Amino acid sequence: MNPRTASRLSALALLLLAASPTHAGAAPDGAALYKEHCAECHGADRFGRQGPALIPQNLRRLRKKRAHGVIAKGRAATQMPGFGETLSKEQIAALVGYIYTPLASLPEWGAKEIAASHVVHKPELVEGSAKTAKPVYKADPLNVFLVVEAGDHHVTVLDGDRFEPIHRFKSRFGLHGGPKYTSDGRFVYFASRDGWISKFDMYRLETVAEVRAGINTRNAAVSSDDRYVIVGNYLPHTLVILDARDLSLAKIIPVTDGKGTSSRVSAVYDARPRRSFIAALKDLREVWEISYDPDPPAGFSGSWVYDYNKTSGDAAKPKAFPVRRIKVEQYLDDFFFDQDYIYVIGAARDGGGQVVNLDARRVEARIDLPGLPHLGSGITWPYKDTTVLATPNLRTGEVSIIDMATWRTIKKLKTLGPGFFMRSHESSRYAWVDVFFGPHRDAMHVIDKATLEIVRTLRPEPGKTAAHVEFDKTGRHALVSIWDRKGAIVVYDAETLKEVKRIPMVKPSGKYNVHNKITLSRGTSH
C-alpha cells in the first residue's frame, strides 16, 4: 500500500470514529446511543416494550441523578442490565439527557396500537366457566389479600386467616392505583404505569388476558356489573373502556373540552349505585361522569353528551358510554366519594378542597384542606351524631377530620410528619395513619375514632418506612408494610396493638383484602 492510500484510509477511519456514538473524542449522540443500546427493550419511539416507556412523563419518580446510576449499574430484580463497563460517563449522561427530552408532540396510542398489544393467555377462563368456579386453594377466598411487592415486581396472594402466602407471581412493571376486583372477588385487574392492564383469576391463580391501554396510565376501575374496565391515562389524553371478559377494546373517549384543550386524567373510579364512572381531570376544570347503564335514569338522558363513532360512517347513531361534564372551580388531583355516591370531595393541586354534588351537578361547598391532602386514601366513620371524613396529607404533618354534614373541618390532628395512607375497619375502634415522609417515616399512628386523639405510635422496624395499613375481613388484624427491599408484612392484633406475625417480603407497597374492597368498607379506599 502506497503512503498516499494509507493516508487517505487513516483519514477515513478518523472520520468514522468521530461519527461513532461510542467514540470518546466526540460529543456523544444520545439518540444514536439509545437506538443502539435501549430501543430493543424500550421501543424505538421510547414508548416502552418489555421495558418501561422512557419519556419525561413516565420518569417523574426517577430523578436524573439516579437515572445515571440505573443505566450504569442496572436495576435489581428486572431485566435491565448495567452499562457501566460498556459506556463512558459522558455517554451515559447523553443517554439521560435524551430520555428526559420532551417529545415534540403528544404521542398517539389508539385503537390500532391497543389491538396489537392485546393477548388472551387463557381463553377458557374468559367467561369463568362453572368448572373453574371454586378456588384451587383451601383459604377463604373473601379473606385473601393481594400484596404488591414493588421491590421485584411480583404479587403475593396471602391467606388472611393463617397469614401465609398461597401463591406468588410476576407482575408488570410499576403497578399503580391498586388492583380492582369484580363484585364477587373472582377476578382482579391490575394497571401499570406504562398502561398495561392485566386480568387475573383469583380462583385459578392464572393471568387471563392483558392489553396496553395507554402509554402513561393513572389508574383503572371496574364497573359494578363486572362488564367493563375503564382506564384513565396521562398519555395520551384518553379514557379507554375495555370489555372486562377478555380486555378487548370497547371505546376510546378523547378527554377534551371540544375547543382544542385536552387533559390528563387525574383519577377514575366506579360509582356503583350510579352505574357510572367518575373521572377527575388534571388540566380541565371539570368532573366527568361516564354512564355504563344501558338505560340511564329519568332526568339524565337530556343532559348526556353522546360521543359518535365517526370511523364507521354512522355519525348519527349515538353509542354507549355517554359523558356528562360538571364544571368545578379548581383542577382536581384526587377525590373521594361519600358512602351514597352523591358527593365527590375533590382536592386541588394548590391546596383546598371542593364538594361536588353529582345529582345537582354543581360545587356545593368548599373545604379547608391546606397542603396536599391524599383524599384517595380517605376514610369515614360515625362520630357522635354525624359522619366524619379523615384524610392524611402528603405535604403537612396532620390529619384533617371533616364533618360530612356541614363540610367543616372539626379537627386538624398533628402527626410526626406527612402521611400517605389511612385505614380502619367498621368493627375496629381505631384508625391507622402512617408517617410516610421525613425522619419519622418508621412511625405508625393509631387514632381513637371516638376521641379523635392519637393513642399509640408504633414503630414496626426502626429506621425503615412503615406504610399502608389494611385490615383483614373481620377487622381483628391490621397489616402494615415495611417499605424496604428486605421488608415485611407485620400483622398486628387490631385490639391489643401487639405484633402477631412478621412475613418477609420484597418492598410490599400495598395490600388489598378482597372482602373489604368488594363490600366498599368504610375503612378502606374504594
What are the pLDDT digits (tens) for 40-99? 777 777 776 666 778 776 676 677 878 888 888 887 656 678 888 778 888 888 888 888
Q: What is the mean pLDDT of residues 509-518?
A: 96
Check if the beta carbon of residue 490 is closer than 8 Å to that of residue 160.
no
177 plus 297 within the same structural domain:
yes
pLDDT in tens, 94-117: 888 888 888 777 678 999 999 999
CA pair distance 34, 2, nearest whole angstrom: 40
Predicted local distance difference test score (pLDDT) of residue 515: 97
Q: Is residue 215 part of a domain?
A: yes
Residue 213: which domain range?
111-142+166-284+286-327
Sheet holding 332-337, edge to edge: 332-337, 343-348, 353-357, 362-367
Pairing mode, strands 508-513 and 286-291 = unpaired
- Is it the case that residue 410 has pLDDT exceeding 70? yes
475 in a structural domain: no
Residue 333 lies in a domain: no
* The pLDDT of residue 416 is above 50: yes
Tell me, what's the pLDDT at 309? 42
With 60 as the cut, is the pLDDT of residue 299 above it? no
Bridge partners, residue 280, by sequence: 267, 287
Nearest alpha-carbon partner for 122 in 199, 49, 221: 199
Residue 163 CA to residue 145 CA, distance in Å, equals 9
Query: What is the total count of domains within the chain?
Result: 2
**Chain mean pLDDT for the chain:** 86
Which of 99, 126, 155 represents a domain boundary (last residue)?
A: 99
- Does residue 134 sit in the same domain as residue 270? yes
Print the SS3 string covering 159-210: ECCCCCEEEEEECCCCECCCCEECCCCCEEEEEECCCEEEEEECCCCEEEEE
Distance CA 219, CA 396 (A): 25
Residue 260, pLDDT score: 83
**One domain for residues 258 and 295:** yes
Instruction: Return the C-alpha cell found at 508.
Output: 410490599
Q: What is the pLDDT of residue 19?
A: 44
In a domain, 355, yes or no: no
Contact 264, 243 (CB under 8 A): no
**Looking at residue 76, what is its pLDDT?**
62
Does residue 202 lie within any of the structural domains?
yes
Clarify whether residues 188 and 307 are in a common domain: yes
Residues 206 and 237 in one domain: yes
Domain identity same for 192 and 299: yes
User: 189 - beta bridge partners?
Assistant: 180, 199
Q: Both 85 and 124 in a single domain? A: no
Does residue 317 register a pLDDT over 80? no
Query: Does some domain include residue 501?
Result: no
**pLDDT value for 295:** 76
How far is CA 134 from each of CA 163, 207, 327, rounded to the nearest angstrom?
Answer: 21, 16, 46
Q: Is the pLDDT of residue 318 over 90?
A: no
Place of cell 461513532: 20
Distance CA 25, CA 31 (A): 17
Question: Rg for the chain (alpha carbons), in Å?
Answer: 25
Given pLDDT bands bounded at 50, 70 and 90, which one contains residue 25? Answer: low
Cell 407471581 maps to which residue? 169
Closest by CA to 432, choosing from 483, 466, 474, 482, is 466
* Distance between CA atoms of residues 398 and 168, nearest Å: 36
Which residues have C-beta within 8 Å of that of residue 214, sequence separation ≥ 6? Answer: 109, 195, 231, 233, 234, 235, 236, 238, 240
Cα–Cα dist 435/54, whole Å = 31
Residue 443 lies in a domain: no
Instruction: Strand 286-291: give its sheet, edge to edge.
Output: 265-271, 276-281, 286-291, 323-327
Write down which residue in 302, 327, 352 finishes a domain: 327
Q: Indicate the Cα dihedral angle 266, 270, 271, 273, nearest 10°.
A: 180
Q: Looking at per-residue confidence, does 104 or 504 come out higher?
A: 504
Shared-domain flag, residues 237 and 306: yes
Read off the pLDDT of residues 150-168 as tens digits, 9 standing for 90 and up: 999 999 999 999 999 999 9
3-27 burial, b for 16+ CB within 10 Å, e for fewer? eeeeeeeeeeeeeeeeeebbbeeee
Higher pLDDT, 367 or 103: 367
pLDDT at residue 234 is higher than 50: yes
CATH code where residue 7 lies: 1.10.760.10
What's residue 380's pLDDT? 95
Q: Is the pLDDT of residue 434 over 90?
A: yes
- pTM, two decimals, is 0.83
Is residue 135 domain-shared with residue 44, that is, in the same domain?
Answer: no
How confident is the model at residue 174, as a pLDDT? 87
* 169, 205 Cβ separation under 8 angstroms: yes
Q: Is residue 369 predicted with pLDDT exceeding 90?
A: no
Q: What is the CATH number of the domain that holds 292?
A: 2.140.10.20
Q: Of 32, 30, 95, whose CA–CA distance to 64 is shortest?
A: 95
Q: How large is the average pLDDT for residues 323-333? A: 88
pLDDT at residue number 305? 46
Of the residues 76, 99, 122, the one at which a domain ends: 99
Residue showing cell 424496604:
484
Grid cell, residue 181, equals: 376486583
Cell readout for 526 is 374504594
The answer to whether residues 192 and 61 belong to one domain is no
Helices (H) and strands (E) in the chain, counts: 7, 33
Q: How far is CA 158 from the centre of its chain?
A: 21
Residues 182 and 43 placed together within one structural domain of the fold: no
Cell of 84: 457501566
Q: Which residue has the higher pLDDT, 494 or 11?
A: 494
Q: Give just the sign of the alpha carbon dihedral 182, 187, 189, 190.
A: positive
Can you give the pLDDT at residue 312? Answer: 41
Q: Which range (73-82, 169-178, 407-416) has the least confidence?
A: 73-82
Q: Residue 514 domain-assigned?
A: no
Specify the length of the chain in residues.
Answer: 526
Residues 55, 121 within the same domain:
no
